[in-house]
Amino acid sequence: MGFPVPEGFEFAGRKRNDVGVGLIVSEDRANVAGTFTENSLRAAPVEYCAEICDKGKARAVIVNSGHANAMTGEEGHRDVLRTAKGVADIVGCPDDEVLVCSTGVIGVRPPVDTILEEARDLASGLGRDPRDVEAFNEAIMTTDTRPKIEWYEGDGWSLLGVAKGAGMIHPNMATMLAFIVTDLDIPHRDLREPLRRAVDVSFNMISVDGDESTNDTVLLMANGASGLKPGRDVPLREFEKALEHVCVELAKDIAADGEGATKFVEVVVRGAFDEEEARRAARAVVSSNLVKTALFGEDPNWGRVGAAVGAARVEVDPGEMMIAFESEKGRVVTYDGGPVGFDEEEAARVLSADEVRVIVDLGVGEAEAKAWGCDLSYDYVKINAEYRT
């Protein structure tokens, strides 16, 4: 896989003995912004990263997989501080310029000594080759089955995103981690709002299983190595669209890799009163376990879709509402102002595709939103029944 790596950023990663460690280092201090899980029991690394992002500067990111360091008390917080100090000594920067992220089993503290030992080795092998980015991505995976790397290449600058996530995925920052870096020169104050907007239409619009993680984190770093500034050298809208594009594609990659999934699902809600109601309805449908299991069984049970929309408490006109299923194998309308007679076998054939679209028109306005997810299979239960053992 070939892709641009923004100037001034280097990557490394390794997974060994069920402990994965990934390292990102910027040659110069980067401006940083982040968004984090809304779970009330946020992991120690999340609390720490939020503080660093408030200050707005960072040189490095250290990530470990296998141990979430969530609900681990004061010891977990001390582990984060010790990890940050150790990496800062290795990289040669202040302790508060190291971002620390963890993913894995909740209630388990990370092996700090092992992580720092790996970090020392990784620091000597940091690089800008796509293979270095891929090694970082592989190191931070848990139940993921595929890499999640997306990018945008502009004129003299680039933006690169790397993510992990397959389970505990649900709107409101769904265990997922995403790291986005760019060599544009963007002040800290100008990173936060574009990131928030991009997350709202991407990571906050996916659901695999309806469970919000304690560790979800999205970090955006801009080190200015290209010497180009949005609004002066690059259209601000180009940067914002590039960021949204990378976030949406990463979100779709996560949804498609849902634990045990056999189908990637896109939900399109049209005709909503406003964008917020469109998003709420789309999230409700893509999050419904009854809809997910029906799609796994290739059963065009449109009533479950309608029930999910109604549970979202959005404005809808039943006499104007439309529900349809669509894939590369065709399209079938199942409700159009009322139940529509349709060929069950044809509908099942449409739903037999690997990628399925559920389309809902609420019939009350012009707003539209999309959400992404997957079906819910027998293997999802098996994977999570045996997650710790």
pLDDT in tens, 262-277: 999 999 999 999 999 9
Answer whether 58's CB lies under 8 Å from 32's CB: yes
Q: Which residues are catalytic?
A: 175
**C-alpha dist (Å) from residue 116 to 62, 90, 263, 331, 358:** 9, 9, 39, 54, 46
Angle in degrees, CA 124, 121, 10, rounded to 5: 45
Higher per-residue pLDDT: 104 or 157? 157
Mapped onto helix, strand or coil, the DSSP state of residue 91 is: helix
pLDDT of residue 208: 67
pLDDT digits (tens, 9 = 90+) for 213-252: 788 999 999 999 999 999 999 999 999 999 999 999 999 9
The segment(s) of the chain belonging to CATH 3.60.70.12 are 9-256
According to DSSP H, which parts of the chain are helical? 44-55, 73-91, 112-123, 130-139, 192-200, 236-256, 275-287, 289-296, 302-311, 344-350, 378-385
Q: What is the pLDDT of residue 145?
A: 87
Architecture of domain 9-256: 4-Layer Sandwich (3.60)
- What's the CA gap between 355 and 373, in Å, rounded? 10
The CA-atom distances, in angstroms, between 7 and each of 129, 181, 221, 350 are 11, 10, 12, 45
Could you tell me which CATH number the domain at 264-385 has? 3.10.20.340
User: Strand 322-327 vs strand 177-182: parallel, antiparallel, or unpaired?
Assistant: unpaired
All CATH 3.10.20.340 domain ranges of the chain, comma separated, are 264-385
Average pLDDT over residues 132-154: 94
Nearest to 321 by CA among 368, 264, 360: 360
Q: Average pLDDT for residues 305-319, to the nearest whole number?
A: 97
Phi then psi for residue 59, to 5 deg, are -110, -25
